[in-house]
Chains A and B, each alone.
Chain A
Amino acid sequence: MCGSTVGGLSTEGIDVSMETVIQGTVTREDGPVAGAYVRLLDHQDEFTAEVQTSATGGFRFFAAPGSWTLRALAGGGALGETGIQADTGINDVDVTVSST
């Protein structure tokens, strides 16, 4: 299984103490954005994974400790980017998008 599930996989049944979970919500002025594409980029800005946000704008990745960038692309050309320093366990981060 290499494909993505909308919103990211559930953590149900997964030992999150062994994982570096990076999760959050994509929002814009009027609230959460469903169906946005969120990319996880590594410390050299290289593509590592992509998921589409859930109905409530949620996304989730399973990464490794270190520095990451989240880049979101939504309908109407809306873009947003946020950096995060992740540790083992749950790391929460939100991404705000706006049209340029």
Chain B
Amino acid sequence: MSRQEVLVDADWAESHLDDPEVVFVEVDEDVYAYDSGHIPGAVRLDWKTELQDQVVRDFVDKESFERLLSAKGISNDDTVVLYGGNNNWFASYAYWYFKLYGHDDVKLLDGGRKKWELDSRKLTQEAADRTPTSYTAKDQDTSIRAFRDEVKDAIGKVNLVDVRSPDEFSGKLLAPAHLPQEQSQRPGHIPTAKNIPWSKAANDDGTFKSDDELKSLYEGAGVDLSNDTIAYCRIGERSAHTWFVLHEILGQPNVRNYDGSWTEWGSLVGAPIEKDV
């Protein structure tokens, strides 16, 4: 993969709004964002109610994902362009999720909602009207998803990249600071993890930094790019942003996202934790 294959800019997006083979999909944590205005023709995916199993902590299964995309009017051969708020955190998460279930042609809108808004580009409140399809998903590609036992075995062997803010990494905060800090997990980070916040990979307007800047960011922080990498954060959406940078933009071959992340690791009995405060 390379930047040209996985990212589109706002000008490209604007010129493909009426392209029948392109589907724009907005993914936000803030469910009101889409209703307040979205890119014309874009459909919404709810990361919490539609992409998560509502009982067990896991993703929806293959059949449910097929039903979901069919109902949204997304076909297997569509180009899916994802975008959202929070500097594309949840859009990156959805991108990784689409790849997990084997969708071929997925792209991210560079800068997401934020850049689109700051550019004062058109948003509409008109609901998208797409004809239902018969979507077929593949089995999960677990070569891009890490589970807790694999993370435990990876300590000291592969690159562990903790993409949370420095205060979450050190243990001073337990969640990103727009959320309450009273949480059940123990604070800190996984031993041997390097702290490279996701935000260092993005410009202020939410677009990704250049390939050269990104490469020197990870190498400068001591990540051996010839080795395998596992990225994590708190629930796996910021680390999907970093997975996107390493695997999709920079084309690193073996990068996995640990979606259990800190809400799982910080709750495991006996799991090793390092704390700096």
Contact = CB atoms under 8 A, between A and B. Distances in A.
Contacts of A73: 118, 204
B89 A3 contact: yes
A2 to B, nearest CB: 5
A4 B204 CA distance: 16
B199 A64 contact: no
Interface string B196-233: 01011000100000000000000000000000000001
Interface residues of A, number: 34
Contact of B167 (A14, A22, A42): A42
Contacts of A15: 182
Given A19-B182, A52-B85, A2 B177 contact: no
A55 to B, nearest CB: 10
Interface in B170-199: 172-173, 175-182, 197, 199
Contact of A47 (B117, B118, B173, B199): B199
A2 B166 contact: no
A73 to B, nearest CB: 6
Contacts, number: 103
A49 B172 contact: no
Interface stretch (B29-37, B56-64, B96-104, B140-148): B29-37
B28 interface: yes
Interface residues of B, number: 37
Interface string A60-100: 11111010000001010000000000000000000000000
B180 A4 contact: no
B29 to A, nearest CB: 2
B182 A4 contact: no
A61 B178 contact: yes
A64 B167 contact: yes
- Central interface residue in B85, B173, B175, B176, by most chain A CB within 10 Å: B176
A76 B29 CA distance: 26
Contact of B175 (A20, A62, A75): A62
A46 B179 contact: no
A14 B180 CA distance: 8
B90 interface: yes
A62 B175 CA distance: 9
A9 B166 contact: no
Nearest to A73: B204
A50 B197 CA distance: 13
B33 A48 contact: no
B48 interface: yes
Contacts of A22: 177
Nearest to A79: B204
Contacts of A42: 165-167
A14 B175 CA distance: 15
B178 A44 contact: no
B179 A48 contact: no
Contact of A51 (B173, B178, B234): B178
- Give 3 nearest A-B pairs by CB, closest first: A3-B29, A47-B199, A49-B177
Given A1-B29, A4-B29, A48-B167, 6 more contacts: A3-B86, A4-B86, A19-B181, A48-B166, A49-B177, A50-B86
14 contacts: A4-B30, A4-B86, A6-B30, A19-B181, A19-B182, A42-B166, A46-B197, A47-B197, A47-B200, A50-B86, A51-B178, A60-B178, A61-B178, A62-B177
